[in-house]
Amino acid sequence: MEALRALVLTDTQLRDMLAEAAKQGAALAVAELRAQLHQTPDDGVLQKLRTYLADPASLANPHDHWAHSGIIRQIEAMSRGKPKSTAWFMKFQRETGLSECFNRPSPAYGRRREWSFFDIRLAWDTYYRRRR
C-alpha cells in the first residue's frame, strides 16, 4: 500500500489560512468591481458584443442584447485606434441588410437606433466574409 502525505494544522493555523484566503478572494472581487465601475455602459456593451462575435455561444439569448451604431463602429478600430467612420457604418448597413432588420430607439440616446446582437453578428459575418 502506498503512503499518503498528510498535513496537520492546528486550529489557529487553519483559521489563519482561511482568513488569508478570504482576504485574497475579497481583494480580487473588489478589484473586479472597481474595474466595472470605471467602465461606461457603452464599454460594457462593446466588450459583451466583441465576446459574442468571437464566440456566439457566450450569450444565451442574443436577441435580448442591443447595440447602437457608435458601438458597432468600435468593434474593430481603425489603424490609429479610432472607431470606424459614420460613412463606413452606412455602407456596412446597406451592404449587409442591417438597415432592414428590426431595430429600436435607444433608451439612452433617443433618436439613435439599436439592433440586436443576433442581427449584428449576421451582418458582421456577411460583411467580412465578402471581404476575405
Say whether pLDDT at 131 is over 70. Answer: no
The mean pLDDT value for 61-73 works out to 95
CA 99-91-114 angle, to 5 degrees, is: 35
> What's the whole-number average pLDDT of the chain?
90
Sorted by sequence, the CB contacts under 8 Å of residue 46 that are 6+ apart come out as: 67, 71, 74, 75
Bridge partner residues of 116 (DSSP)? 66
Residue 19 has pLDDT above 90, yes or no: yes
Please tell me the pTM assigned to this model.
Answer: 0.69
The model's pLDDT over 70-129, given as tens digits with 9 standing for 90+, comes to 999 999 988 888 899 999 999 999 999 999 999 999 887 778 899 999 999 999 999 988
d(CA 74, CA 8): 55
Q: 68 by DSSP, 3-state: which?
A: strand
- State the cell numbers at 2: 502506498
* Three cell numbers, residue 12: 489557529
pLDDT of 132 reads 55
Does residue 37 register a pLDDT over 80? no
